[in-house]
Structure 1
Amino acid sequence: MIPKNTICIWYDTEAETAARFYASVFPDSEVEAVHRAPMDNPGTKEGDVLVVRFTVCGIPCIGVNGGPIFPQSEAFSFQIATDTQEETDRYWNAIVGNGGRESACGWCKDRWGVNWQITPRTLTEALAAGGDEGRRAFAAMMTMQKIDVAAIDAARRG
């Protein structure tokens, strides 16, 4: 069944490879279908992978191989909530270690240019609490690339 609302992500040529990688890393993720181009078009040739239907952590997505016309930007990112440093490390290391790169404040970019926020729940909870707790946690986060759960928890306590 095709969902009513689906995130569509533009890839140059590797939508299927990206989707299979995401399915191998994140829970409740899978590649559901691979559709090939019925004819030549500006982004693909007849028979090439054109559209991939997949889910990431239960969120329905479509990957389109459209060529290099529209590169990824930080205007779109997946935000993955984590519960422990081990989980944070596992996702971060999978993305960065597979040709991706680190950014700031819990953000990283996969090798296809898609942006990810690997965000421990303790950080989100601190920001929601606001006040001094939120300010301390935010200030701590601003010094980090991958989020350090223990440092955020310490900042929350003051």
Structure 2
Amino acid sequence: MSQETKITPFLWYNDQLEDALNFYPTVFKNTEIKSINKMDGKVFSATFVIEGQEFMALNGGPHFSFTPAISLFVKCETQEEVDDYWNKLTADGGKESRCGWLEDKYGLSWQIIPNILMELLYDKDTAKANRVMQAMMQMAKIDIAKLKEAAEKQ
């Protein structure tokens, strides 16, 4: 028996939903399009799953747009994983921001964060955590080697 998610993010696209449904599977290996509803031959709404997280989406027109007030947090194990997501999500009109944040070409905000960043930021050695925070504040894409270097400084 599968457990249904109680809370599902609902994404409002202007008119790029069909493109997004084709794009996200090229970024994330574990993507499934569950349903697509069309109106007048054009994609109107859809349900899809990325890495186990279900989303509902709508081609709702230009009335609303994404803001960085809501972002999708992607946990990464390695620098290669950070680099891969970063490069794919900023391609074709995506925009880099600061501290691991970016916007994809649809304006949806993502945080591409290596797990070690959270470990280092919550280290009980507050001086170490502060050095890591200062290093992170200088980055757009998170660089694991530079985080470790900042953590090890005396």
* TM-score of the two chains, using structure 1 as the length reference: 0.88
Deviations 1:29-86 (A, max 9, x none): 222211123xxxxxxxx34211111112211001111011111100111111111111
Partner residue of 2:31?
Answer: 29
Aligned-partner SS, 2:99: coil
| Cα RMSD for the two superposed structures | 1.6
Partner residue of 1:41?
Answer: none
Give the distance between the partners of 2:69 and 2:109, measured in 1 at CA.
Answer: 9
Gaps spanning 5+ residues in structure 2: where?
Answer: none
Give the distance between the partners of 1:140 and 1:19, measured in 2 at CA.
Answer: 35
Partner residue of 1:66?
Answer: 60
Aligned-partner SS, 1:89: helix
Deviation at 1:23, TM superposition (A): 1.8
Give the distance between the partners of 1:105 and 1:3, measured in 2 at CA.
Answer: 30
Deviation at 1:10, TM superposition (A): 0.6
Aligned length: 150
Partner residue of 1:100?
Answer: 94
Aligned partner of 1:76 among 49, 53, 70: 70
1:108–1:117: 8 Å Cα contact kept in structure 2?
Answer: yes
Deviation at 1:98, TM superposition (A): 2.8
Deviation at 1:88, TM superposition (A): 0.6
Gaps spanning 5+ residues in structure 1: where?
Answer: 38-45
Deviation at 1:111, TM superposition (A): 0.6
Q: Does 1:124 align with 2:143?
A: no
Give the distance between the partners of 2:67 and 2:82, measured in 1 at CA.
Answer: 22
Partner residue of 2:132?
Answer: 137
Deviation at 1:122, TM superposition (A): 1.0
Deviations 1:65-121 (A, max 9, x none): 101111110011111111111111100000112320111111110110000101011
Deviation at 1:24, TM superposition (A): 1.9
Give percent identity, aligned residues only: 37
Q: Does 1:16 align with 2:18?
A: yes
Give the distance between the partners of 2:87 and 2:81, measured in 1 at CA.
Answer: 10
Q: Does 1:155 align with 2:150?
A: yes
Give the distance between the partners of 1:6 and 1:153, measured in 2 at CA.
Answer: 35
Give the distance between the partners of 1:149 and 1:121, measured in 2 at CA.
Answer: 10
Give the distance between the partners of 2:149 and 2:128, measured in 1 at CA.
Answer: 10
